[in-house]
Amino acid sequence: MIKTAIKTKAYAANGSGQELKPFEIQRREPGVNDVLIDIKFCGICHSDLHQVRNEWGNSSFPMVPGHEIAGIVAKTGDHVTRFKSGDRVGVGCMVDSCKECNSCKDGLEQYCEKRMVLTYNDIELDGKTPTYGGYSERITVHERFVVRIPDSLPLDKAAPLLCAGITTYSPLMHWQAGPGKFVAVVGLGGLGHMAVKLANAMGAKVTAISRSASKKTDALAMGAKEYLATADSSAIEKAKESFDLIINTVSSAADMNMYLGMLKRDGVMVLVGAPEEALPVHPFSLIPKRKSLAGSTIGGIRETQEMLDFCGKHKIGADIELISIDKINEAYERLSKSDVRYRFVIDIASLK
Ligand code: NAP
Ligand code: ZN
C-alpha cells in the first residue's frame, strides 16, 4: 500500500447511482518523482456520470470522480525537474502507466500494453491503493502525468481540455483534419463543442450535427460553418456522402448507420462517445464506399501538452457553467439530459 498522509476533502458516490456526498480521502506525501497539486477547478465529464451509475459495469465505490483537473503546484519531490511550486498545471484521465512498453515509449501511454492507471475508479500499480479523482482539494501525481497550462488560458476554462480537449484533438490529428477536409462533429456536449473549436482552428470545414436546432447559434459561434439537426430528415438526405471525417461523441445509443451514410468514399467515423449499449452497424453502411469505423481514447501525455499549447496559441478554452460542489447532483441530472452549455466545471474553492 502506498503511504498516505495528507487529509483531503472530497465528494464521493458510495454506490451505483447514488448521490455524491462529502467524503475524506488521504493523498500521499510527494515521493521523489511526484507533484502535489492544489486543485482549483475540475470539469464534469459524461464518463463521470457513466461510472457513478456503473453503466460500463466496472465501477468500484466509494468513487471520487473527476479527470479534468486544473490547479497549482504546491510541492514537488526531490527528483522533479519539470515543475516547481506555483506552476499552473493539469491532470487528465490517467495518473500512471508501465512507462516501459512500446506504447509508453512512443508517448502513447493511453494504449499502455500493461495498463494505464486511471485517475479514479482504478487501482495504483501497487495493486492495492484505489485512485480518487479531481472532485477533491488536492492530488499527488507522478510528474510524467502532469502537464503545463499556458498562461493565456484561464484555469476554469482550461480544465475541460484535460479530457474533452485531448479526446477530440487526438483523433482530429491522427485522421488529419485540416484545410480542404470536411469534418463533422456529432453531439454538441463537452467533447463535441471542443471538437468543433479544435477542428475549425486546424483549418477544416466543420459541420456540427445535433439532434435539434437549439444549439445552432452557439455552434456557428464556435466555428462551425454548417449545422445539421438530425430531427430534419431532409437535412440528413442532403448531407449524404459529404464528410471525410466524423467525430462521434454521442453518449447513449443512436443509429450509427445514419451517420455512416454521411461519409464520403474512404471516409472515417471515429467513435469517442462510449454509450453502455452495443451499437449495431449494417455491413452495407461500410462496404460500398470503403468506409471505416474507428475508435480512439484520450491522448498521450506528449500530445496532451501539444494540445494545450495549441489551445494557448489559439486562445481556445471550453464554454463552461461554473458550479459550487453542493450543486453537483443537480449538474449530473442536467448532464444526463444534455442540458449543459457546454461543460460543468466545479469551483473547488467551494469544497474547502
Ligand atoms: P455530453 O456533454 O453529455 O455530450 C454528449 C452529447 O451527445 C449530447 O450533448 C448530445 O448532443 C449527444 N447525445 C446524447 N444522447 C444522444 C442520442 N441518443 N442520440 C444522439 N445524440 C445524443 O458528454 P461528453 O462529456 O461530451 O461525453 C460524450 C461521450 O464521450 C460519453 O459517452 C463519454 O463517456 C465519452 N468519452 C469518451 C472518451 C474517450 O476517451 N473515448 C473520453 C471522454 C468521454 P446534442 O444535444 O447536440 O444532440
Ligand atoms: Zn472524460
pLDDT tens digits for range 12-34:
999 999 999 999 999 999 999 99
User: Is the pLDDT reported for residue 51 higher than 80?
Assistant: yes
Which three cell numbers mark 283? 455491413
Residue 3's pLDDT is 65
Cα–Cα distance list, 75 to 35, 253, 278 (Å)? 6, 44, 44
Is the CB of residue 94 less than 8 Å from the CB of residue 124?
A: no
CA distance 294 to 290: 13
334 lines ligand 1 (CB under 6 A): no
Longest dimension (CA), the chain: 63
Is the CB of residue 296 less than 8 Å from the CB of residue 272?
A: yes
Instruction: Say whether 9 sits in a helix, a strand or coil.
Output: strand
Which three cell numbers mark 143? 510528474
Q: Which percentage of the chain shows pLDDT scores above 70?
A: 99
Residue 1's pLDDT is 55
CA distance 347 to 156: 8
Residue 102 CA to ligand 1 centre (angstroms): 31
CA neighbor of 197 nearest in space, from 226, 166, 219: 219
Closest ligand 1 atom number to CA of residue 338 = 9
Residue 129's pLDDT is 95
CA distance 344 to 268: 30
CA distance 122 to 132: 8
pLDDT tens digits for range 293-314:
999 999 999 999 999 999 999 9
CA distance 325 to 28: 23
User: Is the pLDDT reported for residue 104 higher than 80?
Assistant: yes
pLDDT tens digits for range 54-77:
999 999 999 999 999 999 999 999
Residue 206's pLDDT is 98
110 lines ligand 1 (CB under 6 A): no
Task: Name the strand (E) or helix (H) holding 268.
Answer: strand 263-271
Please compute the mean of the pLDDT values over residues 328-338 and round it to a whole number.
Answer: 98
Of 59, 116, 186, 249, the one to substitute when testing ligand 1's pocket (max ligand atoms within 8 A of C-beta) is 249
Residue 241 CA to ligand 1 centre (angstroms): 23
What does the mean pLDDT of the chain come to?
97
pTM of the shown model: 0.97
Of 220, 250, 333, 339, the one to substitute when testing ligand 1's pocket (max ligand atoms within 8 A of C-beta) is 250
pLDDT tens digits for range 175-210:
999 999 999 999 999 999 999 999 999 999 999 999
CA distance 26 to 259: 45
230 lines ligand 1 (CB under 6 A): no
- Within 8 A by CB and 6+ apart from 237, the residues are none
Q: Which percentage of the chain shows pLDDT scores above 90?
A: 98
